[in-house]
A and B are shown apart, each in its own frame.
Chain A
């Protein structure tokens, strides 16, 4: 499952990419000359696999952020294509416009009709201009809500995929109520009477991500980040220096593992060794299994119970100290 082209190679990926290149060269050489290099090739391939596993098993938070932004990483439509069938994309918020930074539609998962919403980035400059780099305007959130309500009306489970550098900060976005659009989605998603399965597949930047991120279960691919602001934004405000983003990434505890420990997400979804961009089919295959499992589990719940559990789930999130509580007074003593 080798990749022949690497548009961007991160520093930490270099050793393994070098090895991959060598393997490709040897394959070509073997083909041209007819010399049998199979044993060597097998050995090198195994070595590359091992190296990749090792490198990716101990990435820093900042390296994970970079991976989450990898231009070869599968986006929402890449997963939709591989996981669902019969996809019909639906456009427009019925108020103002169609926002290509969010895709929405209906499809089937394992034969069952469902609704899909998700942020959508572009692969190249042209496509990115069209998709606005996956940064939605208010009409994107309103389109998503319209289609989710359609799902609720006809009893279709909802699957939402998060991958955005943030809601777009622009004049038009403010004029048309970016904040209201996100707030409305949080409010409405918290009581739609059908299962909602959220998956963070890339970048989860703040309200722009959460705006389609309220659900019954929050899954997160292992090389993603999700937080209140981008590491660059955080660095610019708190350090007054964008270049401190790696430090900010560390401090914000934004990796899947951190968020699992904080109780913000429910499960971490494994990616193929080296990350989803090395093997999109493999990544989709793993995710598909998880999505089906969650759908079947949630469909067993009574809609009323489903909604109550959803509100309860978010109610528990956070960390505070009850000053009159026993355990807290102990803590206070310890501090002194």
Chain B
């Protein structure tokens, strides 16, 4: 059970038939920012970053796992946790149908994958969200899988890395989604008490309840260049204040300038940067097996 792990063995930059299936637009792609026409395999070799303007394309969780973690190091856990439809929610569509469509489209059961992995040799616990799954929204499954990843990081004393790409809490699970903010934040307070580091990485976009919980609670918070990072939706703000929003509002650069994230890192440098940070805050604990509080650390 769980997601197809074949993608995992793929070499970077080599386009396979499976990849072509998820990118049906042909061999060429136009940059959303500068309009440059880019050869798709060239784009993939550059981790989906525009060679001309450095625009960071949105990527799937599976792709980001390849970029961030050491090759073949990601071992997924809790892949069996699936969403239900607790409210029997229906708007113009049934929630259960939306779930099925999203599962078919992404090959995922819900909007996050969690696993044991390594970054530049450091064992870590990783959680990577997927914006393609109902806007990366956080319902019960996302909250629960992240909560369990936090527990595992605490129990095994491995640094936690959560990669967010999410519009916020999932409306179709209503109050239950909202409570996942409290759940994940409460778990993070236990992780902090255990003095295990947590690095939060923000991709485009990270907004709403995701930002208002674990995404903003990292010991270190890193964003990709140009990522949308904020709380309220831009349309809502515009309606409320009745005026246009300033240029660059709610970008990674904007939140950095206002003091809410530590640094902005290019996708191709993310792994080495995270490795450097781990080296500094976790280096002395590097070789440690799961330890108890009383045992000496090497």
Contacts and interface: CB of A to CB of B under 8 A. Distances in A.
Interface of A: 167-171, 173-180, 182-184, 186-188, 190-191, 206-207, 210-211, 213-214, 226-229, 233-234, 237-239, 247-248, 251-254, 258-259, 262, 264, 310-311, 314-315, 317-324
Contacts of A321: 81-84
Given A183-B215, A228-B177, A318-B176, A324 B183 contact: no
A238 B193 CA distance: 40
Contacts, number: 205
Contacts of B241: 170-171
A202 B180 CA distance: 22
Interface of B: 1, 80-84, 86-87, 89-92, 109, 139-141, 143-144, 147, 169-171, 173-183, 185-190, 192-193, 208-209, 211-217, 230-233, 236-237, 240-241, 245-246, 249-250, 255, 258-260
The interface residues of chain B, by DSSP majority, are classed as helix
B190 A320 contact: no
B171 A179 contact: no
A183 B80 contact: no
B88 to A, nearest CB: 9
Contacts of B141: 318, 320
Contacts of A234: 91, 171
B92 A228 contact: no
A77 B25 CA distance: 59
A264 B176 contact: yes
A210 B89 contact: no
B143 A187 contact: no
B213 A186 contact: yes
B174 A238 contact: no
Contact of A210 (B84, B182, B249): B182
A190 B187 CA distance: 9
Contacts of B209: 206-207, 228
Contacts of B87: 251-253
A25 to B, nearest CB: 43
B90 A173 contact: no
Across the A-B interface, the 6 shortest Cβ-Cβ residue pairs? A318-B140, A169-B232, A186-B185, A190-B186, A319-B86, A179-B211
A219 B38 CA distance: 57
Nearest to A308: B190
Nearest to A250: B90
B181 A251 contact: no
Given A174-B232, A183-B214, A228-B178, 10 more contacts: A183-B217, A210-B182, A211-B212, A214-B182, A237-B171, A238-B171, A251-B89, A264-B176, A319-B173, A322-B82
Contacts of A238: 91-92, 171
Contacts of A167: 231-232
B176 A317 contact: yes
Contacts of B192: 187
A324 B77 CA distance: 13
B174 A191 contact: no
A186 B182 contact: yes
B152 to A, nearest CB: 14
B250 A174 contact: yes
